[in-house]
């Protein structure tokens, strides 16, 4: 098993209310990606492979990092459709989309639990499928040669961490809410299992001038 570093994409369109309009980097998101790429080069962090989802924000982040690696794009690394699920929650259960950032603390675990319990009619994919595609793609990546960078999204990263540590929905939701844009999360194989050895690391943003760029939304 090769170790894997998961990276959340740069800040996207935070004013969006649907999947399509959300899926592009903001000007700050482009800067975050470039700063992360600079950090990886300056720290001489060695990776031999680069994977991304097929979403625009994943591709733009990888391009902005400028690693020199040829990206392998895999739709299994795409994010869950949170806006779609939230719309279904409102239509089917009368639970409105949060109007303030703090509202996501309760909204996110409720969406996850309702989705997992198959209490949403006709979701874009089942919770079980989301879990399964993540396991399958990471297994394939880990079987390859050399350490890999994986540019993806926060919901997927939180699921990976929950799988690695045997966590339930409440803890997975807290992880998802904490993940910053262009943060790094490393999994290392120990005893045939994934062990998280790095979580939410943003050394490229940890300077007085850039701390304002440590964004979640």
Which DSSP letter does residue 26 get? -
- Which pLDDT score is estimated for 2? 81
- Which pLDDT score is estimated for 88? 97
- Which pLDDT score is estimated for 100? 85
In the chain, the largest separation of any two C-alpha atoms, in whole Å, equals 51
Q: Is the dihedral of CA 72, 126, 21, 79 positive or negative?
A: negative
- Which pLDDT score is estimated for 14? 82
- Which pLDDT score is estimated for 208? 96
Going from N- to C-terminal start, the domains of the chain cover 4-204
Q: Residue ranges of the chain with pLDDT lower than 50? A: none
Q: Is the dihedral of CA 169, 171, 175, 177 positive or negative?
A: positive
Q: Measured between alpha carbons, how far is residue 166 from residues 57, 103, 161, 169, 193 in Å?
A: 29, 26, 8, 10, 12
Q: CB count, 10 Å around CB of 19?
A: 15
- Which pLDDT score is estimated for 102? 86
Fold classification of 4-204 is Rossmann fold (3.40.50)
Query: Backbone phi, then psi, for 12, in 5-degree steps?
Result: -100, -165
- Which pLDDT score is estimated for 182? 98
């Amino acid at each position: 098993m090769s170790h894997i570093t998961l990276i959340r994409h740069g800040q996207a369109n935070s004013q969006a209310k649907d999947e399509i309009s959300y899926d592009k980097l903001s000007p700050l998101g482009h800067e975050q990606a470039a700063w992360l790429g600079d950090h990886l080069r300056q720290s001489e962090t060695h990776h031999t492979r680069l994977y991304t989802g097929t979403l625009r924000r994943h591709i733009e982040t990888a391009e902005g990092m400028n690693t020199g690696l040829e990206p392998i794009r895999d739709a299994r690394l795409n994010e869950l459709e949170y806006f779609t699920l939230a719309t279904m929650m409102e239509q089917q259960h009368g639970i409105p989309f949060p109007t303030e950032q703090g509202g996501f603390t309760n909204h996110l675990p409720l969406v996850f639990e309702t989705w997992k319990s198959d209490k949403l009619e006709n979701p874009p994919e089942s919770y079980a499928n989301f879990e399964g595609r993540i396991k399958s793609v990471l297994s394939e990546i880990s079987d390859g040669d050399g350490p890999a960078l994986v540019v993806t999204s926060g919901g997927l990263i939180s699921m990976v961490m929950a799988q690695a540590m045997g966590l339930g929905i409440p803890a997975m939701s807290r992880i998802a809410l904490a993940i910053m844009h262009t943060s790094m999360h490393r999994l290392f194989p120990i005893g045939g299992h994934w062990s998280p050895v790095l979580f939410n690391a943003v050394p490229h943003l940890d300077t007085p001038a850039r701390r304002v760029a440590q964004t979640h939304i």
